[in-house]
Amino acid sequence: MSLPLPEWRISTDPVPYSEALAAMEARAGEVAAGEARELVWLLQHPPVYTAGTSADPAELIDPRFPVVSAGRGGRYTYHGPGQRVCYLMLDLNQRGRDVRCYVHALEGWAITALAMLGVDAFRAPGRVGIWTMEGAREAKIGAIGVRVRRWVTLHGMAINVDPDLSHFAGIVPCGLPDYPVTSLAALGMGDAAATFDQALTLSFPGLLATLSSLPEKEG
């Protein structure tokens, strides 16, 4: 029997990070308890640096914006206007208890959506996230950080549509100093926000299909 589709929510105004974190954790708890549908939430934040569980204080170079402990995996990242943040509260009890496959599915979702806009994005071995070529160099266009509680997912991914890329200079993004950060605008697609949301919607069934292909596991 197929599962109901997750609720799809888009917030038009920036949502303060701490407020979003509280709402996300509350919804994930309701999903785990069987009291609410799964949720895909598209939003953006006012400028903020978030610290994952592996964050190294030495990589916080210039805390010009608030710094919030996120509770997700990963290191420091930046969120701000012009960035499409995608939070997912999915029940992996129903969709497969495989966190590595879930992260792989997130990457695939972003790669497929970007391809719909003509952007050739890819995975990079040993580097979680979404990558593309900016001229002759590899550059990161999207970050991924997840948490799983009671086998319900929290957090998700953030794709750079048209953020102020200078804001990333306050941190070592995701602990990778040798790779630049790019955006759709930097690649010549500054008006892609609405089109990208549409691409995310159209490509989302592929993420669910990837999870549904997992072999059933006991326990």
pTM beyond 0.85: yes
Name the phi and psi angles at 45, rounded to 5.
Answer: -120, 155
Residue among 75, 20, 8 at smallest CA distance from 46 = 20
Instruction: Provide the residue type at 95 as one letter.
Output: R
CA dist 74 and 192 (Å) reads 27
Residue among 65, 101, 63 at smallest CA distance from 83 = 65
Active site residues: 174
Q: What is the pLDDT of residues 39-51, one digit of tens each?
A: 999 999 999 999 9
Residue 106: in which H helix or E strand, if any? helix 99-116
- Percent of all residues in the chain with a pLDDT value above 90, rounded to a whole number: 84
R_g of the chain computed on alpha carbons = 17
Average pLDDT over residues 161-175: 94
Assess if CATH 3.30.930.10 describes domain 7-209.
yes
| Higher local confidence (pLDDT), 174 or 148 | 148
CA dist 28 and 24 (Å) reads 6
CA dist 204 and 110 (Å) reads 9
Q: What is the pLDDT of residues 131-153, one digit of tens each?
A: 999 999 999 999 999 999 999 99
Helix, strand, coil percent values for the chain (each to nearest 5): 30, 30, 40
Crossing angle of the two packed helices 193-212 and 99-116, in degrees rounded to 10: 140
Residue among 174, 79, 162 at smallest CA distance from 129 = 174
Q: What is the pLDDT of residues 29-39, one digit of tens each?
A: 999 999 999 99
Residue among 79, 27, 91, 24 at smallest CA distance from 48 = 79
CA dist 60 and 157 (Å) reads 20
Average pLDDT over residues 54-66: 94
pLDDT for position 34: 96
